Structure 1
Amino acid sequence: MNGVPVPGRPGSPSGLLDTVVLTGITTKGYHGVFDHERRNGQPFAVDLVLHLDLQPAGTSDDLARTAHYGELAELVHGIIGGKPFDLIEALAETIASAVLAAFPVAAVDVTVHKPKAPIEVPFGDVAVTLRRSRA
């Protein structure tokens, strides 16, 4: 997260938006700069933080007034397993653009994990996180 503020509801005490968090969307993808990564694939996981006003959904109990996280998970799962990218930064950018286009959110934080990256020393995870918001 880059610390960019996300404007919230005018009446909210902090002026910040609410969040929906969806973590661990995982599937095999074919992203990477090496031939063996493109050929064999590897697991990728994505975490999302959606910034939106949840008051309309909370007061109406209406799914249509929030981001449907089942549909969100399917969208991201398809992108991870779809078109290959050299960089996980490009994968994260594509996911962020798709989420902003498909869901009523003001901003989204996307973290892409590449836990099996071809690194020759022991490591736990490689991840990139970006935040994108509506213009």
Structure 2
Amino acid sequence: MNEQHPARFVNPDKLAPTFGYTHVVETTSRRTVYVSGQVAFGEQGQLIGDGDLAAQTRQVFENIAAALEAVGMAFRDVVKLTFFMTDISGMPVVREIRDQFIDTTQPPASSAVEVRRLIREELMIEIEAIAAGS
């Protein structure tokens, strides 16, 4: 852990190589923030990107950024992301957009799960986040 980030990012040699995530993130932060699963709804509750995974993903990340900003945090503080997708084969699209928001040199721990459906039929992705800071 260092002064710039209250977390230590570790990829143990005995685990498989990673691609855009970290196996273990250790934090001793006094403050942890949990962001509920975000979907592709704009400020007025309207769906953004009907049928467009890239547009929905970008909106989800923008929603997470707004949630973090509301409590004085940013994506640099995110230590865990969980992705829920209706079609996991779209993960390369999601990763490309994710990498525009996260610190790719110290990516957060991550899980991705394919689900049959989200809260509304037209939603393709939901992402929840955990952030740690002082």
Bin of the TM-score, shorter chain as denominator length: 0.3 to 0.5
**Higher percent of residues as helix:** 1
TM-score by length of 2: 0.36
